[in-house]
Amino acid sequence: MMGEAPLDTELQDLPTELRWRTWMGRIEAVLFASAKPVSREALQRVVGQGASVDLLIEDIQGELQNRPYELVQVADAWTLRTRAGFAEVIRAAADLGDQGMEFTPYEMTVLATIAYHQPISRAELKEVFGKDINRDLIGRLYAKELIATGPRSPKRGAPYTYVTTQGFLVAFDLQSLRDLPDMEMLEDAGMG
């Protein structure tokens, strides 16, 4: 907008304690309003240059300890989410709309295969399953922002690969792919 003053991130006119609380409020407001996890770099744009986003987040997490929601790290970003213990209450009273995250066992198996073997090509998926993977299934996983196109080999004609996304981490409550269950444990439990 024309004539709008730039955001005062330094807040030098405020006492130290009030400045810190204002920065905490800004971070919490950005996270509350965002539909997706917010990177540390984006959060840094609303606080002073010398402010530590990590320390601000720690303080916010401390204040939210007895609240029904929490501030969590997902991949290299942060998000607010309702604590799992409140899921039943929310389902009983809230209009959640169609969140569309229900999967058939086959869809879940394809998604898990991509997660554990990424980057993985369509041909490699075909080898794993013994048949070609339905393009509609891949399209649904793309539409739900659970997978994306991964790296290609630099040689001509190299196939596209599939990888999971930050949306995958959010949907399955993982901070990183290192949080996936160990493949051996799954196999021992008869799930691999």
Q: For residue 72, how many C-alpha atoms fall within 13 Å in the half-sphere facing its CB?
A: 17
* pLDDT class of 111 with cuts at 50, 70, 90: very high
- Distance separating the N- and C-terminal Cα atoms of the chain: 55
For the chain, give every domain's residue range.
16-93, 105-188
Q: What is the pTM of this model?
A: 0.66
Same fold, 16-93 and 105-188: yes
Interval 156-180 mean pLDDT: 87
CATH T-level topology, domain 16-93? Arc Repressor Mutant, subunit A (1.10.10)
Share of the chain above pLDDT 90, in %: 46
- What pLDDT was estimated at residue 99? 60
- Model confidence at 96, in pLDDT bands (50, 70, 90)? low
pLDDT of residue 148: 92
Mean pLDDT, rounded, for 110-125: 91
- Higher per-residue confidence, 87 vs 107: 107
The architecture that CATH gives domain 105-188 is Orthogonal Bundle (1.10)
126 close to 188: Cβ distance less than 8 angstroms:
no
Task: Say yes or no to pLDDT of 84 above 70.
Answer: yes
Neighbours of 30 (CB within 10 A): 16
138 C-beta neighbours (distance < 10 Å), count: 16
* C-alpha span between 2 and 66 (Å, rounded): 43
